[in-house]
Amino acid sequence: MVNTEIQRFRTALKRTSLSRPVALALGDAIIAPTKRVLDFGCGKGDDVRLLNERGVTAVGWDPTFAPSGDRSPAAVVNLGYVVNVIEDSAERTACLREAWALASEVLVVAARLVGEVEVESLACFADGSVTRRGTFQKFYEQEELRSWIEGVVGESPVAVAPGVFYVFRSADEREAFVSSRYRRRVSAPLVRVSDQLYEQCKEMLAPLEAFFLGRGRLPSMEELETSAEVSTRFGSIARAFRVVRYVTGNDAWRAIVEGRREDLLVYAALSRFGGRPRWSDLPRAIQNDVRAFFSTYRHFCDAGDELLFAAGRRDELDRAMRAAPVGKSTPSALYVHRSALDTLPALLRAYEGCARNLAGEVPDANLVKLSRTEAKVSYLSYPTFDRDAHPALYRAVVVYPGALRIHYRDYSTSENPPILHRKEEFVGATYPGRDRFAKLTAQEERAGLLGTSNDIGLRLAWNEVMAARGFAIRGHRLERVVSN
């Protein structure tokens, strides 16, 4: 029974920047200038306007603000924060089904989650709540939203952020997207010595180097546009790459091979969620990766299962945390900066990946806390991490993969939030500013500030210690306070 007092139109917002799901899809190249976009339930149409300003062909339809808008099929359909404002569950399902029918490539679905708003102050209605403005909100658990989407459209959605999912028409495009999320960033090895043949053919060899850098293996003939030219000049692709290895050195390329195999192994483990794809559903490039690194799809799947099961064993996780090349280790957890995640052992990457599979990316989180004591991964937001010597925690998204739950903790208004010390321990060796962080830590250690009390992890206690010892911090430098 629909409540005629519910005023859905009042949920439409005036935006000056792209909505979260549209911004994510644009960043992931799901939305691109070559793909037509339909914003289904576009509200006041700001996403449509902003996309068109960026050169993307976008149209919108909304039952209140654009009832005569274009509702024809599009490569990408955005259903952003629409289903959560529909108070009738049957209509909500019909809305999702219609949006899916209009998406020829990808459907983007976003809804609000439990924990984003204090629902105790709202009036219960149907399976949701009525706000003071007379609007309806259905707050989902992340797994509840995923399961509902899958039940309606019949395809397994991919979590890209809390409350945001992609649903792909093509199985191979889905797997290409998922696998790309577990591939580390690497740089090409530097040329070690001057070699006449290499220098003469550098431009011809560049696509081959780029391919190997991206996939850790040699390309097949059809995977490299310049394969015929390279084979004619060097006799084969393998011989051409031997020239590259000779000039640039073997060690760096060997590390790339090992890294890419590990990336693929993490993907194998995490692809089990939602049902591991059939061999025929994999893009040809990934099929070739599997053959190169695991020989058969069965070996690939078995290796992934072994890694996934190991990620559930506390003793193995603890050993991996002790062996981690980066991160701040405590008795209860390992803390790692987001930029260093892909340098962790495969077991820890799979552990974190289990949480990301449920929650998707948490865009503003820059530290990740991997619990030693329970199956829990926390994504921590420190907006001033680079700028402040001891940045304060702004928000935490805590993910329990085994229980399929996500909790939110907001510290943005706290007078005494947790703060960080020893920032250099969280980041990799090449992180900008790491030396500056380390110098401050050394100063604080010499001053005897860091061994004072466990309470210095909170802002007020730290300020009291600093004041009592007569110190202040300017930028990332410890200074004595001169009393008058």
The model's pLDDT over 292-339, given as tens digits with 9 standing for 90+, comes to 999 999 999 999 999 999 999 999 999 999 999 999 999 999 999 999
Percent of the chain at pLDDT above 90? Answer: 77
The model's pLDDT over 199-221, given as tens digits with 9 standing for 90+, comes to 888 899 999 999 999 999 999 99
The model's pLDDT over 424-438, given as tens digits with 9 standing for 90+, comes to 999 999 999 999 999
Q: Per-residue pLDDT for 454 more than 90? A: no
Q: Pairing between strand 367-371 and 405-410?
A: unpaired
pLDDT of res. 4: 46
Nearest Cα to Cα of residue 25 among 16, 15, 35 = 35
Percent of the chain at pLDDT above 70? Answer: 93
The token pair that represents 292 in the structure block: 């190169």
pLDDT of res. 446: 93
The pTM assigned to this predicted structure is 0.83
**Does residue 126 sit in helix, strand or coil?**
coil
Query: Residue ranges of the alpha helices (H) in 103-165?
Result: 142-153
pLDDT of res. 2: 40
Axis-axis angle for helices 297-310, 250-270 (nearest 10): 80
Residue 399: pLDDT band with limits 50, 70, 90: very high
The token pair that represents 109 in the structure block: 């679905």
- For residues 28 and 360, give the distance between their C-alpha atoms in angstroms, rounded to a whole number: 13
Q: Per-residue pLDDT for 355 more than 60? A: yes
pLDDT of res. 131: 74
Higher-pLDDT residue of 111 and 118 is: 111
Residue 389: pLDDT band with limits 50, 70, 90: very high
pLDDT of res. 199: 84
- Least confident range from 131-135, 284-288, 421-425: namely 131-135
Higher-pLDDT residue of 263 and 125 is: 263
- Least confident range from 141-145, 182-186, 207-211, 316-320: namely 182-186
What lies within 8 Å, CB to CB, of 80 at 6+ separation is: 19, 20, 21, 22, 39, 41, 47, 108, 109, 110
Give me the residue label for tokens 């309606």. 152
What lies within 8 Å, CB to CB, of 363 at 6+ separation is: 20, 24, 161
- For residues 423 and 437, give the distance between their C-alpha atoms in angstroms, rounded to a whole number: 6
What lies within 8 Å, CB to CB, of 132 at 6+ separation is: 122
pLDDT of res. 190: 73
What lies within 8 Å, CB to CB, of 279 at 6+ separation is: 287, 297
The token pair that represents 259 in the structure block: 């890294």
Nearest Cα to Cα of residue 268 among 295, 233, 236, 307 = 307
Nearest Cα to Cα of residue 328 among 291, 367, 357 = 367
> Quick one: 454 exposed, middle or buried, by C-beta within 10 A (0-12, 13-18, 19+)?
exposed
Average pLDDT over every residue of 175-186: 85
Residue 186: pLDDT band with limits 50, 70, 90: confident
Q: Which helix (H) or strand (E) holds 333?
A: strand 333-337
- For residues 74 and 60, give the distance between their C-alpha atoms in angstroms, rounded to a whole number: 11
Q: Which helix (H) or strand (E) holds 212?
A: helix 202-215
The model's pLDDT over 4-38, given as tens digits with 9 standing for 90+, comes to 465 555 555 677 889 999 999 999 999 999 999 99
pLDDT of res. 3: 45
Return the sign of the alpha-carbon dihedral for residues 44, 37, 24, 353. Answer: positive
Q: Across the chain, what does the average pLDDT equal?
A: 90
Give me the residue label for tokens 């004041």. 467
pLDDT of res. 293: 97
Residue 286: pLDDT band with limits 50, 70, 90: very high
Residue 1: pLDDT band with limits 50, 70, 90: very low
Kindly list the domain boundaries of the chain, sorted by start residue.
Answer: 8-169, 180-184+258-310, 196-248, 315-423, 433-480
Percentages helix, strand, coil for the chain (3-state, rounded to 5) are 45, 20, 40
Average pLDDT over every residue of 347-355: 96
Asked whether 75 and 36 are in contact (CB, 8 A), the reply is yes
Is 8-169 CATH 3.30.700.30?
Answer: no
Average pLDDT over every residue of 345-366: 95
